[in-house]
Structures are given as structure tokens and as C-alpha cells.
Amino acid sequence: MTARDAAGVFDRGTGHEQVVFCHDEPTGLKAIIAIYSTALGPALGGTRFYPYASENDALEDVLNLSKGMAYKAALAGLDLGGGKAVIIGDPTQLKTEALLRAYGRFVESLHGRYYTACDVGTFSEDMDHIARECSYVTGRTVAHGGAGDSSVLTAYGVFQGMRAAAEVTWGAPTLHGRTVGVAGVGKVGRHLVTHLVDDGADVVITDVDPAAVARVQGEHPDVREVATAADLVATELDVYAPCALGGALDDEVVATLSAKIVCGAANNQLAHEGIEKTLQDRGILYAPDYMVNAGGLIQVADELEGFSFERAKQRAEKIFDTTKRVFALAGDEGVPPAAAADRLAERRMTEVGRLRGIWLG
């Protein structure tokens, strides 16, 4: 990366508090830690280990992801700021104990301004290695006091958001008798299907991995399958739940969808700016992704207090109320729910963050 790219962090006007470049030549560690905000508490966000095409791509990603985490934590009512880290390289080639521990020392050097966790390319076992050099690690293995797989509460939170959207749309907080399409039945999607089936929904799924489909149909024989996400979008649906990759809602999808609600776990569902308005214009109620998929963050945040599944579940259940608040604000202020969610998150960062200015003597 040239000095000019790095200086670009300021020119881009991203509003980040701190961006740290970490390099340990013998292990090949090249990492960037970005702290967007600590207004509500220490910045928490996972470490993505990914073979970025360029260091500039890695910087772009970590800046966007860390900002997203600040909004997600704020809207989830957590006393956490937003941060994220990326390690540049192919984890299958580069990941070693020494590299992870070197990375841990850099995280430690921030003295708790940033807490790390798992993300794409990093796992609870990796967090255990990092924690050998660093106190600011969550998402650890159960053997080390960690909370384990976060997809259970992520799916639960998405289901709460969907119930809230159903109440706003049809007057009752249930998916009973509704047709729900779930695109991607991996860790989160699969648990979501169980909630939906238990609630009496008619569920249609798709996944590029036949084993994932077979597993769900093994548990729930009545769940139907269609071949592709495009086929699912074209199916007569009441609710569409993108639970695979980002960018699921583009112009073509929004133009095709018959669903009245979109509510799913995937991050960054809106393919481009303005698509939230297109959804609104088509009368489709969009439950903002980072609001409804906060269950995983709630879980790793709870681990910092000594994990209690019940307490974390109660917090994830509040996604129901938050979703209703966001839809109400969207109605009051005449903006799409995605904009209303951002406004609520920003308000909390400003109003609660401001309290740090009260001198405690």
C-alpha cells in the first residue's frame, strides 16, 4: 500500500477514530484493525482472514465492516462500539499459531479499545490462540468459556424480526399459514427454517449445496426445494429471507419479488444505494439486515460477561421490539426502514456517547 492509499483514510471522510496497520514479517502477518467508533464502549468486531486482491481492497473492506459493526451494536442496545479487523492472505496457506499470536499482540497493544471475534476465515480455535497473547478476545471455544456457534441466536433474532414485520403487515406476529422462501440453508438458514416450521409456515428453500438442502429436508420433510435463488425469487412468496451472501436484493430481484416482506440473515443485502427506496416503492417491507441479524453479535458480547444463553436469548428477543420501532420511525419520518435504522443507531451513539462528557469527579 502506498502512503497515499493509507492517507486516503482521511480523504475518504469515513469518520473512523483509528486505523492500525500491523506487520510481522517472519510470520507473514499483514493486518488492518479499524475502529469506527468507541462512543458506546470498546469496539467489537470479528477478524476476517481473506486473500484480498490488494491491500487497498482490504482497507476498503475493513473500513466498511467496522462502520457496520458500530451501527449494529448501537441498534442492538449494546454498550459496544464498532470495529473490525482483516488479515490479508489465504488462511489455508498462511494461518499458523505464530501468526495468530503475533496478531494477538497487536490487538493487545490497543489495550481494550478493540475486541476481536470470529469472522470469515477465522474460527473459535483461532481465537483461543489469539487469546494466549491478548485479553480482548471473544467468540472462543466452549472449552475456554466461549459461547460456541452464534448461528442459533442469529436465526432466533431474524425470526423475531420477521414476526415483527408480519405484525406490521398482516396484524399478527406470526408466520402461520404464510409462504416463506429461505435462500441459503447453512448454519443460520437451517435454524431459521426450524423456527418457521414450528410457527406453522409453509417453507420453500434453495441452496447451492445439495447436502445443506438434504439436511433440512431430513429434519423437515414438508419443506419444498427450488433449484436456484432466482427460482425462489420468482416463486409466489409472502416473505423472502436471504440467508446466503450479500447483494441479494438487486433491481431485478426487487422487480420480480411477490413477497410483501424481506427479512433474512445475510449481511449487506442491498446491492446498491437506492434499492431500499425501490423496495419501499414496490410496497415491500424490508427489515434491515444488520438489525435482524444482530443475534450473533449479542451472543459474543454476552460472552464478555461470562456467557449465559438465556440472557443472550432474551436480548436477541428484543429484536422484535427494535424492528417495530424502526418500522414506526420509518412511517413517522417518511423514510425507508433502512434509513430509519441508521437514524436510530446514530441517535443512540450521539445521545448515549455524549454522556461520557459528564465529568465524574
Ligand X SMILES: NC(=O)c1ccc[n+]([C@@H]2O[C@H](COP(=O)([O-])OP(=O)(O)OC[C@H]3O[C@@H](n4cnc5c(N)ncnc54)[C@H](O)[C@@H]3O)[C@@H](O)[C@H]2O)c1
Phi, psi of 136 (to 5 degrees): -110, 65
The region of 40-48, 56-64, 150-158, 332-340 touching ligand X under the rule CB under 6 A is: 150-158
Contact 104, 130 (CB under 8 A): yes
Residue from 47, 116, 206, 280 binding ligand X (CB under 6 A): 206
Q: Least distance to ligand X from the beta carbon of 312, Å?
A: 12
Has 84 been annotated as catalytic?
Answer: yes
C-alpha cell at 268: 449487506
Phi, psi of 44 (to 5 degrees): -120, 135
DSSP state at residue 200: T
The region of 101-109, 128-136, 147-155, 166-174 touching ligand X under the rule CB under 6 A is: 147-155
The verdict on 82 binding ligand X (CB under 6 A) reads no
The verdict on 154 binding ligand X (CB under 6 A) reads yes
CA-CA distances (angstroms) from residue 130 to 103, 126, 138, 189? 7, 6, 10, 29
The region of 58-66, 99-107, 179-187, 347-355 touching ligand X under the rule CB under 6 A is: 179-187
Distance between CA atoms of residues 113 and 38, nearest Å: 7
Residues 283-322 contacting ligand X, CB under 6 A:
293, 296
Residue from 147, 266, 319, 340 binding ligand X (CB under 6 A): 266
Q: Least distance to ligand X from the beta carbon of 355, Å?
A: 29
Which one, 44 or 110, has the nearer CB to ligand X? 44
Q: Least distance to ligand X from the beta carbon of 189, Å?
A: 6
Within 13 Å, how many C-alpha atoms sit on residue 143's CB side? 5
Distance between CA atoms of residues 67 and 45, nearest Å: 10
Residues 207-236 contacting ligand X, CB under 6 A:
207-209, 212, 229
Distance between CA atoms of residues 218 and 214, nearest Å: 6
Residue from 81, 184, 336, 337 binding ligand X (CB under 6 A): 184
**3-state secondary structure labels for all residues of 257-270:** CCCCEECCCCCCCE
Which one, 29 or 291, has the nearer CB to ligand X? 291
C-alpha cell at 133: 497473547
What residues act catalytically?
84
